[in-house]
Amino acid sequence: MTQRPKTLVGKGREAMLNIIDADSFIDGKIGDATLDTNLGPGALIGTATMSGETVTVITNDAKARNPRFPVVYAGIIGLEEAYKMAQAVYLTMEADKNLPKKRPLVLVIDSPGNAPGKVEEFFGMNLATGSYQLALAEARTAGHPIIAMIVGRAISGAFLCHGLQADRILALPQTLGTMIHVMPLSSIARITKRDVELLETLSQTNPVFASGAGFFYKLGGLEEIIEDPADMPKAIVRHIQEIYKLKSEGKWNELGPCSRGTLGTARGGRVARKKVLDLMQTQYAKLEEAFLA
């Protein structure tokens, strides 16, 4: 009997503990600061080591439920979770502000989305997730290597704030249950006024509509697909060292969001991207010339 591959969907805490050095995780502690563990219980955050080097780990825990927000469960990133994650990033930057070598941030991702309720919308869910995105962007440009490791679901707004600002994005394969997409086909159908059946057909061949790690890799959204979960630690450490090197050489265009379009073009997943960008630049130059005339 063939053994079924072991999925890590819904097991963010387990995945995180398997990635870091054994017994190195200190829950809620970053530098001299201590996070409120009752705030945003779905966000599992702390300090650990990988190959003996200090890292900040930010994980969304699908086993936790936020008692103050009924819609925050099963790995959903809610209002409190997003702000707590942002706080962790800024505390990391503060802890290393006088150090020449900035510690890495390792994001362990398994979230089905944000799914805000009326209370979260009223108090500014978008501001919370935007704050987390901004924090990661500031940490990345300040020299902190940021690795996003997708072990389960990376979907919708949760992936936008918890992953897409990383220097490098890695993922386990679709055979282990990973799901990656910014928007479900049902939502795309409502926006584009196209039948779901048509979009499902397109999703079999077109990486724009597909949700698997392989398609996202073709688009340049993933730096690497890690076939065996046991290989995650060494792969993450390898990418961290590469990021340090590229940042020291000033090759920022090979990291973060700016690098993904180029990577997608090289892999054949974004064949029209350069043409569109060139056309936009040409049109912009004409408008600028007319405006300054």
pLDDT tens per residue across span 61-114 = 989 988 888 888 888 898 899 999 999 999 999 999 999 999 999 999 999 888
CA 88 from centroid of its chain's CA atoms: 15
Eight-state DSSP code of residue 116: -
Whole-angstrom Cα distance, residue 259 to residue 266? 11
| Per-residue pLDDT at 56 exceeds 80 | yes
Nearest to 169 by CA among 233, 108, 93, 84: 108
- Decide: residue 3, CB within 10 A, 0-12 exposed, 13-18 middle, 19+ buried: exposed
One-letter amino acid for residue 205 of the chain: T
Report residue 207's pLDDT band, with 50, 70 and 90 as the boundaries: low
Q: What is the C-alpha end-to-end distance of the chain, expressed in Å?
A: 76
Helices (H), 28-176: 79-95, 118-123, 125-141, 156-161
pLDDT score recorded for residue 213: 85
3-state secondary structure of 181: strand
| More confidently predicted of 162 and 214 | 162
| More confidently predicted of 200 and 278 | 278
Across the range 4-27, mean pLDDT stands at 90
**Which helix (H) or strand (E) is 168 found in, with range?**
strand 168-171
- pTM for this predicted structure: 0.89
One-letter amino acid for residue 2 of the chain: T
Q: CB neighbours (10 Å) of residue 95?
A: 18
Eight-state DSSP code of residue 263: H
Across the range 110-135, mean pLDDT stands at 84
Q: What angle do CA 134, 224, 110 make, to 5 degrees?
A: 55
**Tokens 């590469």, residue located:** 242
**Average pLDDT over the chain, rounded to an integer:** 89
One-letter amino acid for residue 57 of the chain: V
Nearest to 55 by CA among 13, 89, 4, 80: 89
pLDDT tens digits for range 166-194: 999 999 998 998 988 877 777 778 888 88
| Per-residue pLDDT at 2 exceeds 70 | no
